[in-house]
Amino acid sequence: MLVILTPEDQRLANAFAIEDLREAGHESHGQDKAPFPIRLQGQQGEAAVRRAAGLPYKRHSIYGPDIPPNIAVRTVIRPRGLILRRCEKHGLLHLLVWQISYWEYELVGWLSGEELRTPRCWENGKEKLPSGRERCYLAEAAWLHKDLTTVFESVKNGTAA
């Protein structure tokens, strides 16, 4: 699903990325070390998901789901696949969003955390991710669920899918 962000979406993504940096403060673990361009890319991906789902764009804590109650958005510039770190919370649905350009985003698909935490994804991460990187689960883009209806309904109803 292709989503085109508006100038207002981009303005809010920029402001929310700055707030994310402030919230992270001097944390020294996980993604809290992410610089502004990475945080902006993440906020833009969240904006694309919200626009596609017909939801208002709101900022939430960097320590919870990207889109409550249970959505984690992963925005990438190359849709190699969906990565899940071992330390991530259980019970989330993980959406892969491909940033095509500054304005255009492709919602590639999703998997639940339980579907990602499989030996198949673990071994795939070992084989395909660069050495020296923390070991992660990796699901190929072709393995993802393409129908986003379930995800959008879970967010609109405030329930887990």
DSSP-based three-state secondary structure for 31: helix
Q: pLDDT tens digits, residue range 43-94?
A: 999 999 999 988 888 887 777 888 888 899 999 988 778 988 888 888 899 9
Mean pLDDT score across all residues of the chain: 85
Cβ atoms 93, 72 nearer than 8 A: yes
- Which residue ranges make up each domain of the chain? 2-157
Q: State the pLDDT confidence band at 33, using cuts at 50, 70 and 90.
A: low
Q: Is the dihedral of CA 131, 96, 76, 59 positive or negative?
A: negative
pTM for the full predicted model: 0.85
**What per-residue confidence (pLDDT) applies to 18?**
87
- Other Cβ atoms less than 10 A from the Cβ of 57: the count is 19
**75-85 burial: b if 16+ Cβ within 10 Å, else e:** bbeebebbbbe
